[in-house]
C-alpha cells in the first residue's frame, strides 16, 4: 500500500480544495458508521457494507483511498477492528480496489450520459456491486494464499466463501449506493456533473444547485449520519464473526488447530481504548453508540488536518 498511499496523496495535493473537505469528512464518517451494521450470514458468520464504492464514484478514486484509509486506521487502533497488522491488506481491498474499480466501472458504464440520467444511477449501482465482489474475492485470495501457516483454510475454501459473502453484501452495497446517489442527483447534481463536461441547462437537464442547495445537502447528510449513529446497535444482532476474522479460540474451534505462524501474544502489542466498540461497565448498545460518535469525531479531526494543508496551499495559489 505504501506506493498507493503516496500516489493518492500526490493526486489530492494537486486537486483538493478546502470546500471539498466537509464531503471528505462526511464520507469517512459514513463509511465508519455503515461498517458497524453487521449482517448475519449462513454458517455463523457475518459481514458488513463498506461505502467505498460511493466515495470513489462521487469524490474520485484517490479521495476514496485517503478517506477509507482514515476509517480503517481508526477502526484498527481505537476499536480493535480488523487489526493493526492487517491494515495494509484491508486498505488494499477496501481503500484501493473498491473505490478505484467502482470509479472505473462507473465511468465506463455511464459514458457521456447526462448527470441526471437513469443510466448514471444504474452505472453507480452496478459498479458498487462488482467492486464489492472484486474486493471480497481479493480477500479470499489473500487469506487462502497464507494456508497453512497463517490461515486454516486453502484457496479452494477461502475464495468461494469470500465470493459468496461479497456477492450477498454487494447487493446491500449496491442498494445503499443507489439510494445515496439518487438523492445526490436530485439535490446537488454538480457533484456528479463535475466528472464530465455537461451540456447547457435545459428543462430536462437542470443546472447545478446553488450554494444554498449545497449547504442543505450537507445539512441533510449530517442529519442522516446522526440517524445512522443512533441505529448502530442494530449491528449487535449479528453475533457471528466475519469469515477470517477469528481469534485463536475460534480458530481452534472451527478448524481444529491454530496456524503455527499466528503469534498468540500479538494481541498484546496494542490496547484499543474502545475494543470491539464497547466500554467496560456500559451496556453494549450505549457503548456501540458512543463508539460510533468517537469514530465519527476522529474521522472529522483527521480530515481536518487535510483541510489545514489544503487551505494553506490555496492561500498560496
Residue 61 has pLDDT above 80, yes or no: yes
pLDDT for res 198: 37
The per-residue b/e assignment along 97-124, b for 16 or more CB within 10 angstroms, e otherwise, is bbbbbbbebbeebbeebbbbbeebbbbb
Q: What is the pLDDT of residues 298-315, one digit of tens each?
A: 998 988 786 676 556 555
Mean pLDDT along residues 106-129 = 95
The mean pLDDT value for 122-134 works out to: 98
Predicted pLDDT at 316: 61
- Is the separation of the CB atoms in 177 and 52 below 8 Å? no
pLDDT in tens, 211-253: 555 678 788 888 999 999 999 998 888 777 788 888 888 888 8
- List of long-range contacts for 307-312, beta carbons under 8 Å, 24+ apart: 307/18, 307/21, 310/16, 310/17, 310/18, 310/21, 311/18
- Residue 60: what pLDDT? 93
**52 or 253: which leads in pLDDT:** 52
Annotated domain spans of the chain: 2-316
Stretch among 84-98, 110-124, 209-223, 277-291 having the lowest mean pLDDT:
209-223
Burial class of residue 72 in the structure, from the number of CB atoms within 10 Å of its CB (0-12 exposed, 13-18 middle, 19+ buried): buried
What is the pLDDT averaged over residues 61-86? 92
Provide the whole-model pTM: 0.88
CA distance 239 to 252: 18
Q: What is the pLDDT of residue 193?
A: 58
State the distance between the two ends of the chain, measured CA to CA, in whole angstroms.
30
Beta-carbon neighbour count of residue 223 at 10 Å? 10
Model confidence at 116: pLDDT above 80? yes
Which residue spans within the chain are E strands per DSSP? Answer: 39-41, 45-47
The answer to whether 24 touches 301, Cβ cutoff 8 Å, is no
Average pLDDT of the chain?
A: 86
Q: What is the pLDDT of residues 152-205, one digit of tens each?
A: 999 999 999 999 999 999 999 999 999 999 999 988 888 885 444 434 444 444
pLDDT at position 34 over 80: yes
Domain 2-316 has CATH 1.10.1760.20: yes
Percent over 70 (pLDDT), the chain: 86
As a whole number, mean pLDDT of residues 103-122 equals 95
Distance CA 304, CA 72 (A): 17
Amino acid at each position: 500500500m505504501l506506493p498507493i498511499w503516496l500516489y493518492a496523496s500526490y493526486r489530492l495535493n494537486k486537486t483538493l480544495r478546502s470546500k471539498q473537505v466537509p464531503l471528505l469528512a462526511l464520507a469517512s464518517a459514513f463509511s465508519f458508521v455503515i461498517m458497524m451494521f453487521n449482517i448475519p450470514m449462513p454458517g455463523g458468520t457475518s459481514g458488513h457494507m463498506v461505502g467505498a464504492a460511493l466515495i470513489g464514484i462521487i469524490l474520485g478514486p484517490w479521495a476514496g483511498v485517503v478517506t477509507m484509509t482514515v476509517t480503517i486506521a481508526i477502526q484498527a487502533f481505537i476499536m480493535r477492528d480488523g487489526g493493526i497488522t492487517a491494515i495494509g491488506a484491508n486498505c488494499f481491498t477496501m481503500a484501493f480496489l473498491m473505490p478505484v474499480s467502482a470509479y472505473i466501472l462507473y465511468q465506463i458504464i455511464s459514458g457521456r450520459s447526462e448527470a441526471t440520467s437513469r443510466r448514471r444511477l444504474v452505472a453507480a449501482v452496478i459498479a458498487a456491486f462488482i467492486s464489492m465482489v472484486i474486493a471480497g474475492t481479493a480477500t479470499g485470495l489473500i487469506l487462502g494464499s497464507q494456508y497453512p501457516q497463517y490461515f486454516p483454510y486453502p484457496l479452494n475454501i477461502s475464495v468461494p466463501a469470500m465470493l459468496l459473502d461479497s456477492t450477498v453484501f454487494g447487493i446491500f452495497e449496491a442498494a445503499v449506493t443507489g439510494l445515496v446517489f439518487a438523492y445526490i442527483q436530485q439535490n446537488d447534481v454538480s457533484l456528479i456533473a463535475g466528472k464530465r463536461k455537461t451540456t447547457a441547462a435545459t428543462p430536462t437537464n437542470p443546472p447545478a444547485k446553488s450554494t444554498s442547495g449545497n449547504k442543505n445537502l450537507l445539512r441533510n447528510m449530517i442529519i442522516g449520519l446522526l440517524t445512522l449513529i443512533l441505529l448502530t446497535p442494530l449491528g449487535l444482532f449479528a453475533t457471528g464473526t466475519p469469515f477470517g476474522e477469528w481469534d485463536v479460540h475460534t480458530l481452534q474451534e472451527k478448524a481444529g488447530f491454530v496456524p503455527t505462524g499466528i503469534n498468540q501474544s500479538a494481541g498484546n502489542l496494542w490496547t484499543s481504548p474502545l475494543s470491539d466498540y464497547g466500554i467496560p461497565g456500559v451496556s453494549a448498545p450505549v457503548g456501540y453508540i458512543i463508539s460510533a460518535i468517537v469514530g465519527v469525531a476522529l474521522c472529522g479531526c483527521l480530515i481536518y488536518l487535510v483541510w489545514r494543508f489544503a487551505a494553506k496551499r490555496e492561500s498560496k495559489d
